[in-house]
Amino acid sequence: MPEPEAEPPEANGADTARPIRVTPAGAPPLPPGTVLPVTLPNSATLEFNASGQIKGFQYSAGAQLQWQHDGQYYQARQSISMFLLGERAQTSEGLITPKGLQPLNFSDKGRKTQSAAFDVASGKAHYSGGQPDAAIGDGVQDRLSVFLQLSALMAAAPEKYPPGTLIELTTSSARSAVRWQFRVGASEALELPFGSVMALRLDKLPGKSSSDQHGSVWLAPSMQYLPVRIKLTQGQDDFVDLQLKKYLPTPQ
């Protein structure tokens, strides 16, 4: 997902090799190896109104998420076009597995293009900018696929993720990998450019670094738990807020 500002690279730690971890509210984490069912949303294009702030500059823009898969492979592209600042686009491509999405390549294109290649077999993520390889494991996601993986988890078994549940998984940008943690909240009634929508809120919790993103994503059951609003904040002031304007399912 396009960030409000390019984040400084963070150290790639050994903990990024750990698989996804789910901790139900008031209970210990699920045992390693627990099978988490997934149901992928059908292919669709989502258009958003975007607003935000970068280094004190406030903007309004259009954004689009193109999501498509054939049951074996997937591709997702998220773009945001900002007046005077140009387009920022992220693309994720990979495999569909029984556990959901397995990214193979992730690119982040702004003033320049950076990318990450994921080799789960060797347990490494490689970065085009020459940053150190990151240790990765089963369930690794990138900055775009992570939101669609959350959609797949929620759609398959929403009852397994009551409010307060924590979902922790390795998430990689085009430069480094860190652990991201989401806390499942309650369903909320949203008033969006699209109209009134009920959506499940998940909060992305701040990480160890002061530069790490925090924010929220809202997933709509009526749209197979695709994201209908995403708000991310970085640092004290920079943020981006995407709110659904159009939902265009791909004809099956």
The string of pLDDT tens digits covering residues 141-169 is 999 999 999 999 999 999 999 999 999 99
Residue 20 · residue 167 · CB < 8 Å: yes
CATH class of 21-27+40-249: mainly beta
What residues pair up with 77 in beta bridges, in sequence order? 66, 91
- At residue 8, does pLDDT exceed 50? no
Closest CA to 154 of 175, 185, 191: 185
Instruction: Lowest mean pLDDT of 171-185, 212-226, 231-245, name the range.
Output: 231-245
pLDDT tens profile 26-42: 999 999 889 999 999 99
Rounded mean pLDDT of 220-227?
98
Residue 174's pLDDT is what?
95
- At residue 210, does pLDDT exceed 70? no
DSSP annotation of 224 reads T
Residue 110's pLDDT is what?
85
- At residue 232, does pLDDT exceed 70? yes
Higher pLDDT: 86 or 37? It is 37
Higher pLDDT: 199 or 54? It is 199
Higher pLDDT: 2 or 125? It is 125
Rounded mean pLDDT of 76-83?
88
- At residue 203, does pLDDT exceed 60? yes
Question: What's the mean per-residue pLDDT of the chain?
Answer: 91
Rounded mean pLDDT of 204-220?
84
Residue 133 · residue 122 · CB < 8 Å: no
Residue 5's pLDDT is what?
42
CA pair distance 140, 157, nearest whole angstrom: 20
Residue 9's pLDDT is what?
47
Give the CA distances from residue 132 to residues 113, 117, 126, 135, 187, in Å, rounded to whole numbers and listed in that order. Answer: 17, 12, 7, 10, 40
CA pair distance 124, 112, nearest whole angstrom: 23
How many CB atoms are located within 10 Å of the residue 63 CB?
Answer: 26
Contacts of 27 (CB under 8 A, 6+ apart): none
